[in-house]
A and B are shown apart, each in its own frame.
Chain A
């Protein structure tokens, strides 16, 4: 990996954008089947039940991503499992029906209806070290015939290169439509150069996003994916003796994958309509499930700050228990996980790295009130145990701000069509245009 830096790096990035513009001409001329075919192959290469590409990626990441090898293998397997050629076709059908046809079929000047066009170039600034989103950040712009520059994150200088290589192996010309740039996020010259793309996608913290937004002009498209959080909500039926352990295992899986660091990782479990004893049983079951999960999916590296924060929060919870509050603390050996059975719905800090709070709430109204401050940051909610009321609760969570509701155990396997942050996957990267000229 060669880290670009300063003005020489910026020159190289401007050159990459020039070459992408050039490659884009051929890309835009491609017939539909010659575009979605290879992109589907790329998805299948990583999503197949047995995938050499995925195994190689997991192995390469194990050395420096901070995640354990088992978490990488299982996280990628589950994450990519629903991302297939078929799901790409469905996504295109769902979001680009008119645009896909018009962009390929109609010559300039003869378009008569609204259509969707990809930007001349797209630049994506990745963040963090969870590799899954990288594949989508490559596929989505290309599906709109927009060549893409991927700026890797300090935490993952590997995935984008690997994905680009696999794509080039499938279709060399399409591979020319992806460029990967490694440079430090603080490098102003390189960042400014990469922001020369017509469409800029920023991921990361509010500060990172704001810094990029300031570099993008008003004539460019700017799209941001900030940090988000997820949670799980269980109803009484999920707490029945025969159900409890199963849901606890699924929640522990959702949490353990990516060490609770992803936006689809739950930070808390809300138990609706159950008494304290039921939430205590769930907390206890979760502790057992986490201990089992640790054997299969060992936690990766944890920074001292997170360990210190977890220790602080656990001591604080124990102090509340000592003060008479019905709070209970479950610790994994070597601080490998923590579960805190809370006495109420009050939001409390979550240090992540497998630290889960279980909150009892009286009913859905109290749940929604408790979650109201999180609404804008909510990504996904895992819901189970409400019987026929599942759908009604899902609707209320979506109205609150979540962009996805699913079953516990499925949080880390989002469909390709998941409208992350409430935005369409492809359409948000497109220009919608119309012509009033008729044949």
Chain B
């Protein structure tokens, strides 16, 4: 718990909401969100000097704000440039870093506690990835990502470690080590689970899935995982030798692992956020696929010119208010486009709607393909 009483009080309020969600009350409460968001903004405005100056430049101070949606959003790219923390540097206990190619500057999220991050992960996953698992049940999980021991600065690896510790059975584990997919061991595990008719949750990065699928193709085999199995993939293909549209990836997974498309879920998350968002297909089967997240996070789709919310269905920039970000900044502007779909949203990536009108190459393409 933070030594800063104001922060401790805020953490306690957010954690209380997360504990309620873990106990089964995973419900939105906009009045509660508004009050917490404005209090948290006032705290971060005081404790994070660069953010305070940023807000002042936009004439958005705690006294001037009337609602949480007016809180100025920090672009994720700023985490590459500045230490955006709302606690003294000596309180830092952990750092998550964005992925990036060698030599490229990486964004950093500094943390003085992992309590909120971990408390946010489990109820969200329980609700959106494992809605059919009884509370407390452990199951088989194989992770196509390195463990947190091997990649301590990866928030994704940390998330998987937390999940495995809380919900994985004895045969659950990580299948990437020293940057290599241990396909032999993984395929043996999957075959055994199949023989035992045991459902498997296969979780990992999109690119690791491509490696697995290519390995299956190379061997000329397809696996029919047991009913109840599911896949969660996340991340893009930045800096990779191969890119694959998400639809094609999901079709390939379905074909090669015998998992229905509805049980293949994409996670939308970023290092700068403590909360994550998941495709709704497991939690809300039969409904239009959209991204859903925990009640302590709010996603807005904004007009990039006016920064006002766009009409339902229209494309805009995704910005996120995440109350679990108590130690940094709660309002984050992503580089992604999206659109609202019912009570959730759809992520369209960074190039949607772009036309190849010219022959100029934006410098970011030369710099490795994006701001994050």
Contact = CB atoms under 8 A, between A and B. Distances in A.
Interface of A: 65-66, 127-130, 133, 153-155, 203-205, 225-230, 258-263, 265, 267-268, 303-313, 315-316, 318-325, 334-335, 347-352, 373-374, 377
A322 B354 contact: no
A319 B335 CA distance: 15
Contacts of B50: 319, 322-324
B355 A334 contact: no
Contacts of A347: 363, 366-367
A433 to B, nearest CB: 32
B305 A311 contact: yes
Nearest to B351: A305
A319 B353 contact: no
Given A155-B355, A303-B355, A308-B337, A316 B362 contact: no
B161 interface: no
A312 B353 contact: no
B73 interface: yes
A311 B356 contact: no
Contacts of A263: 358-361
B39 to A, nearest CB: 22
Contacts of B337: 304-305, 308
Given A311-B307, A312-B333, A373-B366, A204 B356 contact: yes
Contact of A319 (B75, B305, B355): B75
Nearest to B56: A322
Contacts of B53: 321-323
Contacts, number: 172
Contacts of B52: 322
Given A320-B82, A349-B362, 18 more contacts: A66-B357, A128-B357, A153-B356, A155-B357, A203-B359, A229-B361, A230-B360, A267-B362, A303-B354, A309-B350, A311-B307, A312-B335, A313-B77, A316-B81, A316-B371, A322-B57, A334-B305, A335-B304
A48 B364 CA distance: 38
A260 B351 contact: no
Nearest to A311: B304
B316 interface: yes
A158 B336 CA distance: 33
Given A261-B357, A304-B304, A323-B50, A315 B363 contact: no
B363 A305 contact: no
A201 B359 CA distance: 15
B366 A377 contact: yes
Contacts of B82: 319-320, 323
Residue of A305, A310, A313, A377 contacting most chain B CB atoms (<10 Å): A305
A389 B366 CA distance: 29
A310 to B, nearest CB: 7
B315 interface: yes
Nearest to A185: B356
Given A311-B305, A316-B78, A305 B359 contact: no
Contacts of B73: 315
Nearest to B82: A323
A349 B75 contact: no
A263 B317 CA distance: 27
B252 interface: no
B304 to A, nearest CB: 4
B253 interface: no
A270 to B, nearest CB: 13
A321 B359 CA distance: 32
Contacts of A225: 359
Contact of B358 (A128, A325, A377): A128
Contacts of A306: 354
Interface in B14-36: none
B57 A308 contact: no
A307 B352 CA distance: 11
B54 interface: yes
A306 B354 CA distance: 7
Contact of A262 (B58, B81, B307, B358): B358
23 contacts: A127-B359, A128-B357, A153-B356, A155-B356, A155-B357, A204-B356, A204-B359, A225-B359, A228-B361, A229-B363, A263-B359, A305-B337, A305-B351, A311-B333, A312-B77, A312-B371, A320-B82, A322-B53, A322-B54, A323-B53, A335-B305, A352-B360, A352-B362
B329 to A, nearest CB: 10
Contacts of B353: 303-305
